[in-house]
Amino acid sequence: MTSLYSAAAGPLAGTILLPGDKSISHRALLLGALAVGETVIEGLLEGEDVLNTAVAIRKLGASVARDDDGIWRVHGVGIGGLREPDSVLDFGNSGTGARLLLGVLAGHPITVFITGDKSLCSRPMNRVADPLAEFGARIMTRRGGRLPLAIAGATDPVPVTYRLPVASAQVKSAVLLAGLSTPGHTTVIEPEPTRDHTELMLQHFGADIDITHGSDGAAHIRLVGQPELSGQPVTVPGDPSSAAFPAVAAIITPGSEITLTGVGMNPRRTGVFETLAEMGADITRLSERVEAGEPVADLRVRAGGLRGVVVPAERAPRMIDEYPVLAVAAAVAEGETVMQGVGELRVKESDRLSAVAKGLTSCGIRVEEGEDSLVVHGCNGPAPGGGLVETALDHRIAMSFLVFGAACEQQVTVDDAGPIETSFPDFVDLMNGLGARIAQGKAAV
Ligand code: S3P
């Protein structure tokens, strides 16, 4: 375990290019594996989570190669063409990789064993196993729907109409991906909008997908099964979830001004920037453009005082991964920030509600942790800090508290920074390049 500390920093300044979007990177590899012909991916996130997906599709028969210039090339096998791997697929820390691949496998008549690290093996898989069983897949999990599991995909999958019981893009995507190898129409009914990268990328690869809305406002996403997908060029935008870390660091470190280039601005991902703006943050979108079907912008972020706000439950799906770093911003804001409807945070890489509450408390911040809510009482200025934060195999907890250290009186230490490799391998170097003081060992006084 690599423990890192983060100490109070001077103003942050500079321009950085964010790593590729994790959600889009997984999807590009998976659809590339199912397409006929070559998929050329530029800007793929080379974090552990995505690399595990690359290994998995290779074991399933797709050819995956990286050029020296960082371009990835996938030669797919066509829908239904994946072959049974001769060893267990290990998804490490990645819920997205494991759950999306389960969807792909549900309509392939092969048997596959899937596992992950301690964090992933504690996360619920029934949310995808249940709808995939409706297609005819057989999935045997450990008790409580946990990994490791075995899936035997359906030989003759039957189409399904599935209403999402939880606002989850992973569940939606697993069902749609299962629909690819299923004759007829597969429909997902989505009451609350979640990230739509799967729908956008399916269209990009040539699938026939249409979206209408029911009288209750729910989206009905209908996919025509067994399309011929053809390999496509994919340009992966910078990950807005990763951008949130340097953005919050700049906002809470007095005198800072940074620019984050090429950040994905899909409206279903930008809830954190809206919330920060409501809190009074100075974030400006520059050079707004569309790249490969996804909106992208550069973000100029300046330091400034924040005030607490109420973050309504309906915004949660649009910023689900950003609550830990939002809580850090809330800790230095004036007044209280109330985050409602955030129970899903309990089943992420860690129980993020509890990890954030414990971490902030250890740094002298008053927090009220509810079953599906979090209230952070901001200290209106530099926080005491001084805590030792358990990251519990959660990259976003590690990065959030390293960001927090920049605005604390005493250094903040995270016990294990290793998980940062899953989504943002250059995080520490990029942050230090901006002027942060993140290092191993004890801070110099
Ligand atoms: C993701 C969906 C979200 C998010 C995760 C990535 C995706 O999970 O938290 O980091 O790529 O579809 P849920 O679908 O469980 O909300």
Q: Where are the domains of the chain?
A: 4-20+237-440, 22-221
Give every strand in the sheet of 72-75, ordered side by side: 63-66, 72-75, 38-42, 233-235
Specify whether 282 is catalytic.
no
- By residue count, the chain amounts to 445
Answer yes or no: is the C-beta of 170 below 6 A from any ligand 1 atom: yes
Return the pLDDT at 441: 75
129 contacts 148 by C-beta, under 8 angstroms:
no
323-332 helix and 352-362 helix, angle to the nearest 10 degrees: 30
Q: Which of 49, 321, 351, 416 is catalytic?
A: 321
Nearest partner of 23 among 227, 213, 273, 240, judged by Cα: 240
* Distance of CA 216 from the midpoint of ligand 1 (Å): 24
- The CATH class, in words, for 22-221 is alpha beta
Rounded (10°) angle between helices 395-405 and 427-434:
20
Among 84, 97, 79, 83, CA closest to 28 = 97
Ligand 1 centroid–CA 272 distance in Å is 15
Residue 350 contacts residue 396 (beta carbons within 8 Å): no
Is residue 321 within 6 Å of ligand 1 at its C-beta?
yes
User: What's the rounded Cα separation, in Å, for the pair 390 and 398?
Assistant: 8
What H or E segment, with its residue span, contains residue 350? none
* Nearest protein Cα to ligand 1, atom 5: 96
Give the 3-state secondary structure of residue 137. coil
The answer to whether the bond into 148 is cis (omega within 30° of 0) is yes
Structure tokens at 385: 């800090």
State how far the Cα of 159 lies from the Cα of 188, in Å rounded to an integer. 11
Expressed in angstroms and rounded, the spacing between residue 176 Cα and the centre of ligand 1 is: 15
Superfamily of domain 4-20+237-440: Enolpyruvate transferase domain (3.65.10.10)
The verdict on the CB of residue 169 being under 6 Å from ligand 1 is: yes
Tokens linked to 151 = 């899936």
Ligand 1 midpoint to CA 80 (Å): 25
pLDDT at residue 442, rounded to an integer: 58
Ligand 1: residue of 48, 125, 195 to mutate (most ligand atoms within 8 A of CB) is 195
Atom of ligand 1 nearest to the CA of 321: 9
At residue 291, the pLDDT reads 85
The parts of the chain modelled with pLDDT lower than 70 are 442-445
Element holding 200 (H helix, E strand):
helix 197-204
- How distant, in Å, are the alpha carbons of 118, 172, 181, 326, 356 from that of 43? 29, 25, 28, 26, 31
